[in-house]
Structures are given as C-alpha cells and as structure tokens.
Structure 1
Amino acid sequence: MDRAMVSVPFHQVVRSTTPLFTTFLFRVMFNRTFSTETYLSLVPIIFGVTIATYGDFTFTDLGFILTFLGVILAALKTIVTNKMMTGSLALSFWEILRRMSPLACLQSILYALFTGELMAFRDFLRDELFAGTARFTPLPFLLVMLGNGTLAFALNVSSFSTNKIAGALTMTVCANIKQCLTIVLGGLLFDVHLSAMNMWGILITVAGGAIYSFVELDSKRKNKERAAAVAAAAAANHPNGTAEPIARA
C-alpha cells in the first residue's frame, strides 16, 4: 500500500535505513550495542544505496508514515525471527513456517478483500482464464502460480536459515546490497540506463558491505580469543581443570 503513495526512489532510500532501526531496536529491546566500527561501516552502505537509487522523491503524508512504519516492522520482524531460532525457543525454520503460513495466508486474503484485489481476481477467472481466450489458459496459469509459490517458499527457507546463522543486522545489510544487485540486473536484463551516480552508489554500497563483513569477522575473532583467554585463566587457577562453582548469596 505504501508504494502506491510514494515514489520508488523514496521508498528504496527509506528502506535502506533498516540497519539503523535494527541497531536501535536491539538497544531498546535487549540493551545490546555494537562496536563503533560496526556503526561506522553502516554509513557507506546506506549512503551508497541513497545515491544508487536517487531520483524523484515524492510522497503523501500517509505514504511517508506507512513507509517508515514498514521499515520499523521489517527490522522488528528480522530481530524477532532471529531470537525465535537462537533464543530459548530454538525453533527451526520449518516450525516457524508451519505456524506462520496459515496466519499469513489469512492476512493476505483479508487484505485482498479490503483493497478489491479479490474481486478483480474473480473477474479475471470468469472473464479471461475460463472464458476460452487464447491469451490465458488454466494449465499455464497453474504452473505460474506453482512456480511463484515454490520461489516464495525457497525465499523464506533461505531467509530464515541465513538469519539464524548470520544474525539480524547482517540480514538488513544484505538487503541493502540486494537493492544494488536489483539495479544491476535491471540494467543487464531490461536495458535500464544507469547513470554515473547510480554506478558510484553501487560501488560505495558494495565497498561498505565488504567493510562491514571485515569488521564483523574481526569482532567474532576477538570474542573467541577473549573467551579462550578467560577459559585458560580459569583452568590455570584450578589445577584440576574445572572451575569451582560460585556460591550464591
């Protein structure tokens, strides 16, 4: 709904701020902070997407509100999904899909009903698909729907699996890089003209993604070294190799 009230460049630029909202929600909900290097590495990623998608920024008041609300919900969904798979619940992506798919289906049907899309689909079935026209026949339509559903299922499986392994913030960073990949594929497949500013934006975003990856890998390496040092110190203090339990007050 929000994309009908805002221009595509504005929507993409606002969506590029999802990593910032993700870090903010992590701080508010779990009191978790990231290193200064991680915060700084997000700057070229967001700035690069802004340049790569720069265009006519138009929006309505409601579209502006809905777009930012969508960004907040996208960040929240990524965080909650990660916690459901890595926290105390430790759900698999199969379990999440099994529980959420019926609710998502119901939500989509209600939304289609309220927006008139369901009635338009009924008219399509009556006037075109089953009217015997040469443009649409049932079998190709069913194959297209099956292919679309299969791709959607594969997308959810890969998204949940990656979220569990890489983390919520990394998922939002990859989403920004995906926007640049979409622009490049549009130029290759559909001969979309890319200006010098667009190309510079893509390069800056990719460079920012590389910096972010280096920072995160270095942070994980330091955390492992710190944990190993603590374990070694504990073992040195206790010759039997086991740490004494801490007495509770």
Structure 2
Amino acid sequence: MSTKGNWSPPSVSGRLVTLGLVASWYSSNIGVLLLNKYLLSNYGFKYPIFLTMCHMTACSLLSYVAIAWLRVVPMQTVRSRLQFVKIAALSVVFCGSVVSGNVSLRYLPVSFNQAVGATTPFFTAVFAYIITVKREAWLTYVTLIPVVAGVVIASGGEPSFQLFGFIMCISATAARALKSVLQGILLSSEGEKLNSMNLLLHMAPIAVVFLLPATLVMEKNVVSITLALAREDNKIIYYLLFNSALAYFVNLTNFLVTKHTSALTLQVLGNAKGAVAVVVSILIFKNPVTVTGMLGYTVTVIGVILYSEAKKRNK
C-alpha cells in the first residue's frame, strides 16, 4: 500500500518557532555584548562588577518568574547541603567568567573579544584532561592547534590589542570552560542533575551575594555615582534595566534553542553567532581591523568547527 497520501512535510509553524527562537537568541546574545561594550567603554560607565551584579539580580528575579509563575520548566529544588555547596562553587566560577569578560570589554573591541572567546573548546579539553584525566582521540587534540594558532595570529594583527584586557578575556574564556567541566562532574548524578534554567535560578542569587561585597570594596560609591549620573542623564537607568533583562534572555533563549534543536546545533549556531557579532560590532563601533586579524579569527573558527566534528565522530 502506498503511504504517499499519509506523508506530511515538517510543520511550517514548528520551523517558524525554531527560527524565531534562534533569531531571539542571536539578538539577545549580540545585543547584551554590544550594550556591555557601549556602557563600559563608549558611555564611560566603568563599573564591570556592579554591571555583573545587575545582570545576576535580573537573572534571579526573572528566573523565579519564569519557573515559579510562568512554568517554563518544572521547578527543581536543591536536595542537600552538599548539592548547595556544589552550586555555590559553580556560581563563583561563573561570576569570575562574567566579571572578567565585562572587564575585558573596557579595553578590547568586541571583534577581538569574540575571537579569543572562540578558544573555549581548547580550555574545555585542557580542564577535562586535568580534572578527569579523560583523554580524547588524538585527532580531537590536533584540531585544537588551529583554534589556538588563530588567536595568536589575530593578536599579532589586532590594532587595539591591550595586554590587561587580553588577560581578562583569556581568564573569562578559561573560567567559562572550567564551569562547563565542573558542572558535568559536580551535578552528574541523577539526583543532582538540574536543567540550565533551574541551575541559573539557584546560581544567580548566590552570585549576587558574592558580587555585592566585591562591588562595595572594589567599586566604592558606585550606587551614588550611578544615581548622580541618572540625575544628569536618566538614560543610564534604562540602559542598565534593559541590559540586565537581556542578560537573562540570553540564558532563556539558549535553553529554548537547545530544547527545540540540539546541543550540537547550538554549538554550530554559536560559531556563526560569533562571526555575526564581529561584523556587527565593527559596523557599529568602527574599530579598526586588519587582514591579519580577520585571518586569525577565521582560522580559529575553522578549528572550532573541526573540533566539533571530531568530537561528534568519537561519541
């Protein structure tokens, strides 16, 4: 019997939803990156720790609204003191990653920041080997050579290279990779697994607790300075509120895109997102670029793609 009459193409509405989610993820991800750069560099709001605390506060509040009220995902509670300690440890690493990334944006253009950030797979492989002594296939490690080589080339050709900003950017990338590896280890048992939205719900308030004293000590009078700025130009309040909300929607759309596609698709889309962010940032901020710098970034992206393919084959 022919089944031709029973065949139906993939749902158009389903594809539109997926495309809409990807577009939202791209917009929020690139938007928060560019707005961070604008605030910390162009606008002159030189308080990256306070800005990160605003992000984490928004993530705390909006995560609770999304899970407890809107029921985007079922709420998962912390089941033990040990699990809480593990989440707190992840939160500290997460804070280090975000703060370092924001600090680097004060000194480096977004295009170079994204080039360095593309080396995350290299640090992930290194930390996975150091912490778990888990070896990948030799081909997987070979693909990391262009990942690192590309950043070396890009650094040599970056007109706006600044050593401290570069160190902060590398630190942010390494911390992001470390958090990913630790998350897989610390929350690996069935009883402790949390989806990314619930993990953010529990991590964000802890991050605020850590960031508050750091802000008070390292960025003294930031609240009074912000209020003084607001009296002169109330746009700063809207910038901070919108920027903080975007920081949450990056995580929300990341989760939703993964749910509607796959982790591998998200990784591929992430590589493309980095390239889009580079182009958009150059057009907006008009930071100088060189052929050598763009060549380096291209080599890094090719290395990341090859690394992803090698990981896929070895699974």
- Give the 5 Å matches for 1:153-172: 153-158=248-253, 166=263
Counterpart of 1:153, as a letter, is Y
Aligned to 1:42: 144
Partner of residue 110 from structure 1, selected from 200, 205, 213: 213
Q: Cα RMSD over matched residues?
A: 3.9
Could you tell me how far apart the structure 2 residues matched to 1:163 and 1:78 are? 16
Give the fraction of aligned pairs with identical amino acids, expressed as a percent.
26
Could you tell me how far apart the structure 1 residues matched to 2:115 and 2:297 are? 13
The alpha-carbon distance between structure 1 residues 26 and 213, as it changes in their structure 2 partners (threshold 3 A), is closer
The alpha-carbon distance between structure 1 residues 105 and 27, as it changes in their structure 2 partners (threshold 3 A), is same
Could you tell me how far apart the structure 1 residues matched to 2:118 and 2:305 are? 17
The alpha-carbon distance between structure 1 residues 163 and 73, as it changes in their structure 2 partners (threshold 3 A), is farther
Could you tell me how far apart the structure 1 residues matched to 2:176 and 2:116 are? 12
- Note the alpha carbon deviations across 1:50-108, whole angstroms, 9 max, x for none: 22243476657xx9987776554332212123445654321122321221111111222
- Give the 5 Å matches for 1:147-226: 147-158=242-253, 166=263, 181-220=276-315
Structure label with greater radius of gyration: 1
Q: Is residue 99 from structure 1 mapped to residue 198 from structure 2 by the alignment?
A: no
Q: How far is 1:185 from its partner?
A: 2.5
Structure 1 residues not aligned, in runs of 5+:
221-249
Matched-pair contact (CA < 8 Å) for 1:177–1:205: no
Q: Which has the higher contact order (CA 8 A, sep 6+)?
A: 2
Q: How far is 1:24 from its partner?
A: 2.7
Could you tell me how far apart the structure 1 residues matched to 2:167 and 2:282 are? 31
Structure 2 residues not aligned, in runs of 5+:
1-98
Q: How far is 1:14 from its partner?
A: 7.2
**SS at 1:193's partner residue?**
coil
TM-score, normalisation: structure 2? 0.51
- Note the alpha carbon deviations across 1:28-48, whole angstroms, 9 max, x for none: 322311111111111112211
Could you tell me how far apart the structure 1 residues matched to 2:213 and 2:122 are? 31
Which 10-residue stretch deviates more, 207-216 or 196-205? Answer: 207-216
Partner of residue 129 from structure 1, selected from 223, 230, 236: 230
Aligned pair count reads: 206
TM-score, normalisation: structure 1? 0.63
